[in-house]
A and B are shown apart, each in its own frame.
Chain A
Amino acid sequence: MNVIFLLITASTIVAGVFLAAFMWAVKSGQFEDDRSPAVRMLAENDLRSTPPSETK
């Protein structure tokens, strides 16, 4: 039965990592502008086909 303590510790740590990731996301402002990232994603492919350096 002792293995469950190990499992719980492991799972809690994993969960904690996700919590930390969430906090990082909030602090980096990802929840503040929900419109432009969506558009940015759509345009990404085009950016790669003509990288800025190739234009005049």
Chain B
Amino acid sequence: MTARTGTEVKCYHCGETCREEHRVHEEKDFCCQGCQVVYDLLQESGLCEYYRLEDRPGTRHKAAAEEARPELFDLPEVRDRLVEYSEDGITRVRLHIPQMHCSSCIWLLENLHKLQPAIIRSRVRFTDKELTVTFREAQLGLRGLVELLRRVGYGPLLTGRSGEQRKGPGIPRTLYIKLGVAGFCFGNIMLFSFPEYLGADTADGTLLKGFQFLNFVFSLPVVFVSSTDFFRSAWAGLRGRRINIDQPIALGIIALFLRSTLDAVTGAGPGYFDSLAGLIFFLLIGRWYQAYTYSALSFDRTLNDFLPLAVLRRKGDKEEPASVGDLRPGDRIVIRDQELVPVDAILRSGIGNIDNSFITGEPLPVKRNVGDTVRAGGRQRGAAIELEVLRAFQDSHLKRLWEEHTGDHERPLMPRTIDAVARRFTVAVLLIATGAGLYWWGHDARQVWPVVTAVLIVACPCALALAMPFAYGHTIRLLGRRGLFLRDAEVVERMAFINAVVFDKTGTLTAREAYDMAFVGVPLTAQERMLVRSVARNSTHPLSAVLYNGIKAPLKDAVFVEEEAGEGIGGMVDGVTVRIGSVRFCSGAPVEREPGVAQVHVSIGGVHRGRFDVRKRARSGMAESVAGIGAKARTYLLTGDATVDGDVAAAFTPGAMRTGCTPPEKARFVRELQADGTRVMMVGDGLNDAGALQQSDIGVTVSESSAALSPASDAILDARSLADLPAMLHLARRARRIVFASLAISLMYNVTGVSFAVSGHLTPLVAAILMPLSSVSVVGFVTLAIWWAARDLGLASRT
């Protein structure tokens, strides 16, 4: 069962490339101890089906740094949030597990009872990445459950929003019901209408009368249940003195229903019940298509989503979990490796090695000594530290930064094309109806009512209302397959207008954890490279990891390893002392530090040998992406760093780069661009971009995994798809053009219909053919055209 691609060996559990820790166990390759342990656990419990459902389904342990510590689940406040039900020792909890991603995950999570008999039942809701577990609390406990989940690599995420009732699924249940009712009635009414159209023996009047009556009965739920949304929206528009697309639709529905009922009652004709039901059925399908969203991704984030719900507070010599909101200035808190500091605090003991990537996108940690201030949002990397709370959570720098961004939300509203079209359309329909009414008033007064209603019926902009949801819905789906997830259909339309794109640098155009390194000094010998790598392996510092992964050399065991946090690591290999770290640590002469480049100095046998210059690598496809967008729109670069270097600088014109930007300055820059009507797309990642993302017409966050922390935005772009961004923008523009073409087609149908109507020839049969025909052909055209455009731009296939 080993998979060898070239010389690379992939882990049987998680699919990562096996490196130094590579181990072979039961003829299977594992990349680390952790993966092997999970495998053994599943093996023992007869759960190896896990590996059969999908290839290498596991999640690696290191990826789970955001998981909450199990002891926090003992906190009554946390328990209350998660527990849905608890009676007679049987408890049901709902946990958020963003790591689940495939069939195997679902399978394993639903078979937890095989691992732990105290678990009675577990159910996954994949779309929300939620797991509901029913278990005997006396035997296991919530904490035990969480520990079990962590052991198999599915530790639940605990943030301020965990356990909160979600807004519900992406598509509301009522929409399905309405759609079902409309479809049901539509089918029946069609059946009952056939005899009429086929001219069945009209001698038997009672039969046709009976059918008409049934049609009337079936049309009632269609009008009074299924079409409520259209009436509501039309009414809301009326009250706000705005014309929207739902007003002509509502007018058409009313005209259809009244005319048909009157016809049926007076015996003037069979009525248009089938057209009525069909119309609403098609319109609801459009609504359903439009409601499609990526409900598992959260576009609306609150600060609570990011911060831990609770931290360890030290009281005397005891440590107890405390909720973040309860922390008061002066409290002592303990933050361990990989944990977020939730409030502004002063370091009191230990050495801080703070990674601010959540705030700035910069993954290299900075050193903090005792007495230094650590800002909320930093992540500790390294040994546990103790901090004294400086400000309560409400007053923290992070909270202020956040509120600054989300408080004044003055996004310039863009007029929706459909509303502009609807306005003209409605006016035209009313004019035609009045004109035709006046004409027939002069010629044959009995024809006024039928003609006016016929105009309103046939002018009902069904195809018009369908074109946009289908065009944009289809675009959303195609873009989603390629790694760009949009909040809703309106974002597609806004995307079509974008003529300036502003990029953040750190974390957006540069990769979070990919580096280039170069050695400065007399080149190291193979023996020396082995020494450096063997020592670097003992450190968890990201720069050591860069060295370890970047140097090609065999490994030997290092002894007397000593790490000085924030400075470097030293050790002895083969009797030689090796030190890697800061200049001081390696007793070298101080060197000018180039901005944006981290230096790792090396000393071997007590002699400074030189240094590695480590710089962040630009994301693959970055240059193509910026150049591609630059062909159609202006491009800008904003960064908090002092300078921009290398590939990133080469991609932009010098005038289009702003360095040293604070978060408010980024937002201001976007606002200034917008001042002359420029439509700006902001592409960013960290919380320091949140203000600019909010200010821009479309905020796009670049994310390396869907579970990663990213600020609120309109769209989420998978970092691997960065190169596709120009084509994606192009597709949005094409989609808008396709919508216009389909509007032209549907108007053509309307003109044809109206010409039947004004002349008094709109029989129920003509309506029954014309209306579905127009809807179906418009939807078909739009779907094919969008697909064709995507294929043309190379976006049609899955990545």
A binds B: yes
Q: How many residues of chain A are within 8 Å of chain B by beta carbon?
A: 30
Are A32 and B125 in contact, with the CB atoms below 8 A?
A: yes
Instruction: Annotate A1-33 by CB proximity to B: 1 below 8 A, 0 otherwise.
Output: 100110010001001001100110011010111
Are B173 and A31 in contact, with the CB atoms below 8 A?
A: yes
Are A15 and B188 in contact, with the CB atoms below 8 A?
A: yes
In the complex, A40→B669 CA distance in Å?
51
Residue of A nearest to B44 (CB): A56
Shortest CB-to-CB span from A20 to chain B, Å, is: 10
User: B111-119, B707-715, B735-743: which one contacts chain A?
Assistant: B111-119
Contacts of A43 in B (CB 8 A): 49, 53, 107, 110-111
Are B184 and A15 in contact, with the CB atoms below 8 A?
A: yes
Are B117 and A56 in contact, with the CB atoms below 8 A?
A: yes
Are A35 and B106 in contact, with the CB atoms below 8 A?
A: yes
- Of B49, B187, B214, which is in contact with the most chain A CB atoms at under 10 Å from its CB? B49
Are B173 and A26 in contact, with the CB atoms below 8 A?
A: yes
Are B171 and A31 in contact, with the CB atoms below 8 A?
A: yes
Chain A CB within 8 A of B204 CB: yes
Are A33 and B126 in contact, with the CB atoms below 8 A?
A: yes
Are B107 and A22 in contact, with the CB atoms below 8 A?
A: no
Are B177 and A36 in contact, with the CB atoms below 8 A?
A: no
Q: A33-B125, A43-B111 are in contact. Are A26 and B177 (CB under 8 A)?
A: yes
In the complex, A23→B176 CA distance in Å?
8
Shortest CB-to-CB span from A54 to chain B, Å, is: 9
Residue of A nearest to B169 (CB): A32
Contacts of B117 in A (CB 8 A): 52, 55-56
Are B127 and A33 in contact, with the CB atoms below 8 A?
A: yes
* 103-157 of chain B: CB within 8 A of chain A: 103, 106-107, 110-111, 113-114, 117, 123-128
Q: A26-B180, A40-B110 are in contact. Are A46 and B49 (CB under 8 A)?
A: yes
In the complex, A34→B296 CA distance in Å?
13
Chain A CB within 8 A of B607 CB: no
The binding surface of chain B is classed by DSSP as helix
In the complex, A18→B180 CA distance in Å?
10
Q: How many residues of chain B are within 8 Å of chain A by beta carbon?
A: 32
Are B188 and A12 in contact, with the CB atoms below 8 A?
A: yes
Are B49 and A36 in contact, with the CB atoms below 8 A?
A: no
Contacts of A29 in B (CB 8 A): 173
Residue of A nearest to B120 (CB): A52
Q: A40-B110, A56-B117 are in contact. Are A35 and B173 (CB under 8 A)?
A: no
Chain A CB within 8 A of B181 CB: yes
* 151-195 of chain B: CB within 8 A of chain A: 169, 171, 173, 176-177, 180-181, 184, 187-188
Residue of B nearest to A4 (CB): B207
Shortest CB-to-CB span from B746 to chain A, Å, is: 29
- Across the interface, A8 reaches (CB within 8 A) one of B49, B107, B180, B214, namely B214
Q: A1-B204, A55-B45 are in contact. Are A39 and B103 (CB under 8 A)?
A: yes
Q: A31-B171, A33-B127, A56-B117 are in contact. Are A50 and B46 (CB under 8 A)?
A: yes
Contacts of A12 in B (CB 8 A): 188, 214
Shortest CB-to-CB span from B290 to chain A, Å, is: 16
Shortest CB-to-CB span from B217 to chain A, Å, is: 9
Are B214 and A36 in contact, with the CB atoms below 8 A?
A: no
Contacts of B173 in A (CB 8 A): 26-27, 29, 31-32
Shortest CB-to-CB span from B211 to chain A, Å, is: 8
In the complex, A38→B204 CA distance in Å?
51
Shortest CB-to-CB span from A7 to chain B, Å, is: 12
Are A39 and B177 in contact, with the CB atoms below 8 A?
A: no
- Across the interface, B113 reaches (CB within 8 A) one of A1, A15, A52, namely A52
Shortest CB-to-CB span from B216 to chain A, Å, is: 14
Chain A CB within 8 A of B210 CB: yes
Are B127 and A23 in contact, with the CB atoms below 8 A?
A: no
Residue of B nearest to A19 (CB): B184
Are B110 and A55 in contact, with the CB atoms below 8 A?
A: no
Are A19 and B180 in contact, with the CB atoms below 8 A?
A: yes
Contacts of A8 in B (CB 8 A): 210, 214
Are A1 and B207 in contact, with the CB atoms below 8 A?
A: yes
Shortest CB-to-CB span from A25 to chain B, Å, is: 9
Shortest CB-to-CB span from A22 to chain B, Å, is: 5
Shortest CB-to-CB span from B605 to chain A, Å, is: 56
Contacts of A47 in B (CB 8 A): 111
Contacts of A23 in B (CB 8 A): 177, 180
Residue of A nearest to B168 (CB): A32
Residue of A nearest to B211 (CB): A8
Q: A15-B184, A27-B173, A31-B171 are in contact. Are A39 and B210 (CB under 8 A)?
A: no
Are A42 and B124 in contact, with the CB atoms below 8 A?
A: no
Shortest CB-to-CB span from B604 to chain A, Å, is: 54
In the complex, A12→B221 CA distance in Å?
15
Contacts of B124 in A (CB 8 A): 33, 36
In the complex, A33→B126 CA distance in Å?
6
In the complex, A42→B214 CA distance in Å?
44
Are A40 and B171 in contact, with the CB atoms below 8 A?
A: no
Residue of B nearest to A12 (CB): B188
In the complex, A55→B187 CA distance in Å?
51
Residue of A nearest to B128 (CB): A33
Are B114 and A42 in contact, with the CB atoms below 8 A?
A: no
Q: A42-B103, A55-B117 are in contact. Are A35 and B188 (CB under 8 A)?
A: no
Shortest CB-to-CB span from A56 to chain B, Å, is: 7
In the complex, A31→B448 CA distance in Å?
47
In the complex, A52→B114 CA distance in Å?
6
Are B107 and A35 in contact, with the CB atoms below 8 A?
A: no
Shortest CB-to-CB span from A48 to chain B, Å, is: 13
Residue of A nearest to B176 (CB): A26
In the complex, A40→B179 CA distance in Å?
27
Contacts of A39 in B (CB 8 A): 53, 103, 106-107
Q: A39-B103, A43-B107 are in contact. Are A55 and B114 (CB under 8 A)?
A: yes
- Across the interface, B180 reaches (CB within 8 A) one of A22, A38, A46, namely A22
Shortest CB-to-CB span from A2 to chain B, Å, is: 10
Contacts of B128 in A (CB 8 A): 33
In the complex, A38→B117 CA distance in Å?
25
Are A19 and B181 in contact, with the CB atoms below 8 A?
A: yes
In the complex, A42→B103 CA distance in Å?
10
In the complex, A21→B128 CA distance in Å?
25
Known: A27-B173, A33-B128. 12 other contacts (CB 8 A): A1-B204, A4-B207, A5-B210, A15-B187, A35-B106, A36-B124, A36-B126, A40-B110, A42-B53, A43-B49, A55-B45, A56-B117
Hey, which bits of chain A sit against chain B, CB under 8 A? Answer: 1, 4-5, 8, 12, 15, 18-19, 22-23, 26-27, 29, 31-36, 38-40, 42-43, 46-47, 50, 52, 55-56
Question: Top 5 nearest A-B pairs by Cβ distance?
Answer: A35-B126, A39-B103, A32-B169, A26-B176, A39-B106
Q: List 20 A-B contacts (CB under 8 A).
A: A4-B207, A8-B210, A12-B214, A15-B188, A22-B180, A26-B173, A26-B176, A31-B173, A32-B125, A32-B127, A33-B125, A35-B127, A39-B103, A39-B107, A42-B103, A43-B107, A43-B110, A46-B49, A50-B46, A55-B114
